[in-house]
Amino acid sequence: MGEFDLIYRYFDRKTTSSHGVELAIGDDCAITKLAPNQRLAISTDTLVCDTHFLPNITPADLAYKSVAVNLSDLAAMGATPAWISLALTLPDVNHQWLAEFSQSLFAILDRYNVALIGGDTTKGHLSLTLTAQGILPAEQGLFRHQAQEGDWIFVSGTLGDSAAGLALLLNQTENLTASDRLLIARHLRPTPRVELGIALRAFSQCAIDISDGLLADLGHILKRSRCGAEIELADLPLSSHLLARNPQFEAEQLALTGGEDYELCFTIAPHKRSDFEKFLRSQGIKATCIGRIVAAEQGLTLRRQGQIVPPPTKIGFDHFQTSK
């Protein structure tokens, strides 16, 4: 089977006019359209075997996660996902693998009403590069440089679960408990907080998704916004599944530095906090206030019930200093 036969068999699917696609797979470029009051948010991620995912990952999990992490980037900008393209490098053509991969790929794309509009296939070490595109209203969006002194710092969901799940996979742990399996699922199938990101446009101006670890990613906000932050460790949202496997201190370290939770970290201005918390309750959304933005000269400070706690020596994941 040649390259184009492979594309047409597994990845060419008709898109609907609601996607705003004028021309998709089958030409040199895809063509999409935007309304006059819209902007385009674009994110590109590369996932490489043995760096971003384990070689024994199932094709269904790989397809899901590769899309989810890109949609998480759009969520961090407050964008509505619209289109995605996929460049897939394969060591060989395995039809069973491709069938499972493409089925899972389209399942998550359908879940978020996203169209696959193009890409490429080639032969080599297993890797994927995805470009996700989302739509932003002309005057709205969430940006790392817009945190303000006095803002409250929130995170969605719970933190540290993905890193704990990865540790279980790496250690090939036997006799897994129900909590263990949920931690592994949080690593393999993170939930992109798309709906929350869109809703945050009414409450926030600043967000980031937690891919490299809370401290590392919050650090990007602080650098771009030229601010500092105080974090209360007692307020970190830790799941019962994480605490069932790890002591409190280890769970905190995973939450601070583990990465790949793909939750959102965002700021809320003081005058909007009450309305935002009412919104969370009305929608049944879990988000936790963990600290506050402070003056830049104060840096990043961790506290536990008022007492300063030294930061971890390892802040987060870096592609050129460590591997997963």
Q: Which residue type does 66 have?
A: S
Is residue 119 a known part of a binding site? yes
151 assigned binding-site residue = no
Q: Does 209 count as an annotated binding residue?
A: yes
Please tell me whether 217 is known to bind a ligand: no
Residue 189 to residues 124, 135, 305, Cα–Cα distance (Å): 25, 24, 34
| Identity of residue 21 | V
Binding residue per annotation — 144? yes
User: Whose structure tokens read 């303000």?
Assistant: 148
45 assigned binding-site residue: yes
- Is 52 one of the annotated binding-site residues? yes
131 SS3 class: strand
3-state secondary structure of 26: coil
306 is in an annotated binding site: no
Is-contact 160 240, C-beta < 8 A?
Answer: no
Say whether 212 counts as a known binding-site residue. Answer: yes
Contact 167, 54 (CB under 8 A): no
Residue tagged 């032969």 (tokens): 123
322 in a labelled binding site: no
How far is residue 311's CA from residue 300's CA, in Å, rounded to a whole number? Answer: 9
Residue positions forming the annotated binding site for Mg(2+): 28, 43-45, 73, 120, 209, 212
Residue positions forming the annotated binding site for ATP: 119-120, 144, 211
Residue positions forming the annotated binding site: 28, 43-45, 52, 73, 119-120, 144, 209, 211-212, 260, 317
Residue positions forming the annotated binding site for substrate: 52, 260, 317
